[in-house]
């Protein structure tokens, strides 16, 4: 089967196809809605391209298979949902230390996993790079980018979506990513067979120190393992990534008197609410972090330096709002206008994913913007 060029696909399927076109040849997953669709697509499609798709027996086993396949130099991906992500946390922490450039997709049930994704749910606070597409077409582009960034930085990359991303069908176009993303380093670390070359070791357990600080080789008896080196290097790598890879979408900031911020597909609802608000005469700006980690703190800092209040909408109890507050550092008021979804069958008005609901919250905050 030749590669798809253009199709009307659910976001989960679009992301899967894009991953394959980005060169992914190993995929595994355990069914859990709304990530099941990625697995189903991969199960059908991978054999057609000579790749492997495994329905693993648990997410814990899956992430370690992805570790192995990626370590052997194969572009590999796993997708799961919320609880399944929790089961991967030990391995994810270690994969950051071991520099395993895998792509991990969290098709969450809402946006409640923001902290888990961006703080590194596991031990040692070793998070991946985290990308949050807001539409099917952007999911396609994100799949390309995820594999690219993973290998560029030799660091795991997480794609954080939700049921809206997975289940909404949109027309998507697949274009070869080679044209746009730049060259990648050789995989001179891959354990892809040591015939004719020295063996390689992929490990999260420390680095062997063989040179003195002045660069001269140490006598054998003085070589040793520096167990915290991978942690210190991961911190340093995050700083370098932050300097180079932050991406954020902004609109209407020039005349804004209030800024609304959101990420993922819910950001489209927030953006639409902002547009409706502008139709009512409210001067609302819009900021959508695309890289959740590194976080576009500078964008928020600049907004806050103008004294503009910021309203943060998330489909959770308030998590990204902390990153906004850390960026703003008191320079301007930060309002949380999101919340945990209630079932549509629930009583009363909850923070549904609903542009009119967001609009109403914007009206409330806007009315008090000078009082803050």
Q: Are 85 and 115 in contact (CB under 8 A)?
A: no
Contact between 242 and 297 under an 8 Å Cβ cutoff? The reply is: no
CB 20 within 8 A of CB 49: yes
Q: How far is the CB of 43 from a copy of itself (least distance, A)?
A: 8
User: Residue 99 is encoded by which pair of tokens?
Assistant: 């520099």
Nearer to a copy of itself, 61 or 249 (CB): 61
Indicate whether 340 belongs to the interface with a copy of itself (CB under 8 A). Answer: yes
Length of the chain equals 372
For residue 54, the minimal CB distance to a copy of itself (Å) is 7
346 touches a copy of itself by CB under 8 A: yes
SS3 150: helix
What gap in Å lies between CA 266 and CA 39, rounded to an integer?
Answer: 24
Q: Which of 84, 31, 75, 72 is nearest to 54 (CA)?
A: 31
241 binds a copy of itself (CB under 8 A): no
Binding to a copy of itself, residues 75-104 (CB under 8 A): 82-87, 89-90, 93-94
The three-state DSSP-derived secondary structure of 271-293 is: HHHHHHHHHCCCCEEEEEECEEE
Site stretch for a copy of itself (CB under 8 A), options 18-26, 115-123, 163-171, 352-360:
115-123
Looking at beta carbons only, is 31 or 124 nearer to a copy of itself? 124
Binding mask 133-152 for a copy of itself (x = CB under 8 A): --------------------
Residue with tokens 């008005």: 349
Token pair, residue 261, equals 């911020």
Q: Is 220 in the site for a copy of itself (CB under 8 A)?
A: no
Taking CB under 8 A as the rule, does residue 121 contact a copy of itself?
Answer: yes
Which segment (43-51, 253-261, 280-288, 353-361) binds a copy of itself by CB under 8 A? 43-51
Q: Does 57 engage in binding with a copy of itself (CB under 8 A)? A: yes
Neighbours of 319 (CB within 10 A): 21
Interface with a copy of itself, residue 228, by CB under 8 A: yes
Site of tokens 């596991």: 122
Give the pairing type, strands 129-131 and 291-293: antiparallel
Site residues (CB under 8 A) for a copy of itself?
43, 47-48, 52, 54-57, 60-61, 82-87, 89-90, 93-94, 108, 112-116, 119-125, 212-213, 224, 226-228, 231-232, 235, 316-317, 319, 322, 325-326, 328-331, 340-343, 345-348
């Amino acid at each position: 089967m030749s590669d798809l060029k253009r199709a009307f696909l659910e976001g989960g399927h679009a992301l899967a196809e894009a991953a394959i076109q980005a060169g992914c040849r190993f995929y595994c997953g355990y069914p859990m809605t709304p990530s099941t669709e990625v697995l189903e697509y991969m199960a059908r499609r991978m054999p057609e391209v000579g790749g492997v798709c495994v329905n693993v027996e648990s997410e814990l086993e899956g992430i370690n298979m992805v570790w192995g396949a990626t370590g052997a130099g194969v572009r590999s991906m796993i997708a799961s949902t919320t609880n399944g992500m929790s089961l991967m946390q030990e391995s994810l922490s270690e994969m950051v230390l071991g520099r395993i450039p895998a792509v991990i997709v969290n098709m969450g049930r809402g946006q409640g996993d923001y902290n888990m994704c961006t703080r590194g749910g596991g031990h040692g606070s070793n998070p991946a790079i985290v990308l949050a597409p807001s539409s099917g077409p952007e999911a396609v582009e994100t799949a390309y980018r995820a594999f690219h960034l993973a290998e560029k930085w030799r660091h795991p990359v997480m794609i954080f979506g939700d049921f809206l991303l997975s289940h909404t069908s949109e027309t998507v176009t697949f274009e070869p990513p080679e044209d746009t993303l730049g060259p990648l380093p050789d995989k001179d670390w891959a354990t892809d067979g040591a015939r004719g070359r020295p063996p390689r070791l992929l490990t999260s357990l420390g680095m062997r120190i063989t040179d003195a600080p002045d660069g001269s080789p140490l006598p054998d008896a003085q070589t040793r393992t520096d167990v915290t080196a991978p942690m210190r290097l991961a911190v340093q790598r995050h700083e370098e990534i932050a300097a180079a890879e932050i991406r954020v979408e902004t609109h209407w900031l020039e005349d804004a008197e209030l800024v609304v911020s959101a990420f993922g597909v819910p950001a489209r609802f927030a953006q639409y609410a902002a547009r409706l608000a502008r139709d009512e005469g409210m001067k609302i700006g819009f900021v959508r972090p695309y890289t959740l980690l590194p976080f576009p703190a500078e964008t928020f800092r600049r907004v806050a330096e103008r004294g503009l209040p910021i309203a943060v909408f998330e489909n959770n109890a308030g998590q990204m709002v902390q990153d906004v507050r850390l960026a703003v550092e008191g320079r301007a008021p930060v309002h949380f206008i999101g919340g945990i979804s209630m079932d549509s069958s629930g009583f009363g008005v909850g923070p549904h994913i609903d542009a009119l609901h967001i609009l109403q919250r914007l009206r409330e905050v806007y009315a008090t913007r000078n009082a803050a």
